[in-house]
Chain A
Amino acid sequence: QKEVEQNSGPLSVPEGAIASLNCTYSDRGSQSFFWYRQYSGKSPELIMSIYSNGDKEDGRFTAQLNKASQYVSLLIRDSQPSDSATYLCAVNKPGTGRRALTFGSGTRLQVQP
């Protein structure tokens, strides 16, 4: 079992709809959670970070964290064709110091015009 699990997709949504991306993680000691967007052949771009249970909103993006269920999600409202990309869920390895990220395999999102 991978430490960070995501549905590989593709997740296809029509333009203007809400896209919902999900991620589960196995290490209960994980404390920091991140969503990155990656276009093909490009580098991961940080979209959201979340550390506390609940919701965190930034523009069209909302990250949700439920540590009891070891579940992180990303909602994208008013999806645009430019949102079509692979979305990587990343978790900070537990422990002190500047820890590395463990990534899920990514969910490919396709927004249909």
Chain B
Amino acid sequence: AAGVIQSPRHLIKEKRETATLKCYPIPRHDTVYWYQQGPGQDPQFLISFYEKMQSDKGSIPDRFSAQQFSDYHSELNMSSLELGDSALYFCASSSGLAGINEQFFGPGTRLTVL
């Protein structure tokens, strides 16, 4: 079965640079979620989109922005990168059928800020 696709899988950036992470949800899933997981921590919700509209917002820094496109893929844009942004970034998708919100995670992007 098709899974969530994320690219790139690894990314190394310098401080103050920008980064763009991409997420392709499972086909026919209409909701995309972004989570950040620091070393030894649990995943923290950043932002989500349903039918291309922002659905929910968590602890996303103002330096980050995201959007969902007409083909349902989503991009997380990160500017003025800081050392503390080094983390695993996961995208998850759900279909919300019958009110069930099972979220399936992609493999993640490991971002390292030097």
CB closest chain-A residue, reference B96: A98
Q: Determine the chain A residues whose CB is within 8 A of the CB of B33 once the complex forms.
A: 100-101
| Contact stretch, chosen from B14-22, B76-84, B99-107 | B99-107
**Contact between A43 and B90, CB atoms less than 8 A apart:** yes
Measured as residues with beta carbon below 8 angstroms from the partner, the interface class of chain A is 20 to 34
What is the distance, in angstroms, from A48's C-beta to the closest C-beta of chain B? Answer: 10
Does B58 interact with chain A (Cβ within 8 Å)?
A: yes
CB closest chain-B residue, reference A106: B42
**Contact between A98 and B105, CB atoms less than 8 A apart:** no
Q: Residues of B with Cβ closer than 8 Å to A? A: 31, 33, 35, 41-45, 48, 50, 55-56, 58, 88, 90, 92, 94, 96, 100-108, 110
Q: Residues of A with Cβ closer than 8 Å to B? A: 32, 34, 36, 41-46, 49, 51, 88, 92-93, 97-106
